[in-house]
Amino acid sequence: MRAAAVLFPCALLLVSCGTPEYRAERSICEAEWVKRIPPNYVQQLVERTRYEERPTGQSTCVTTGNVTNCTNVMMTIAIPYTAVETVDANKSRRDVQIKACAAKACQAKFGNAECETAAG
């Protein structure tokens, strides 16, 4: 779940790049290539790491008047674990085709692979 929270914004950022014209061409290509190379969801084991705060056994104390307040000194430790993740085995193959399709369409319509207009 944590990986999805990190990867989704990154993927969104990558897809949101380019001109509106490029995004439109890419969208058309995505619709075409998802039919040609459909998603193939498989589960795979992945190594992940989670972090926890643990007390070191030391404490820091501050005395104000007759009152002493102590707090435990904490350290962050990494805990590796194995998780099952569902991935689309065809995604990378399909993404290459989508990118090539969009570049080809942009080249045909705008004279460049990025769909940049003369005003852009």
pLDDT in tens, 54-89: 999 999 999 999 999 999 999 999 999 999 999 999
Report long-range pairs for 29-36 (Cβ below 8 Å, ≥24 apart).
29/97, 29/98, 29/101, 29/102, 29/105, 30/98, 32/101, 33/94, 33/97, 33/98, 33/101, 34/94, 36/94, 36/97
Question: Please, what is the Cα angle at 9 between 32 and 36, to 5 degrees?
Answer: 15
Average pLDDT over residues 8-34: 77
User: Minimum mean pLDDT among 13-17, 23-27, 45-49, 55-59: which range?
Assistant: 13-17
Mean pLDDT taken over the chain: 87
- In the numeric block, which tokens belong to residue 23? 């995004």
Average pLDDT over residues 14-29: 83
What confidence score (pLDDT) does residue 120 get?
53
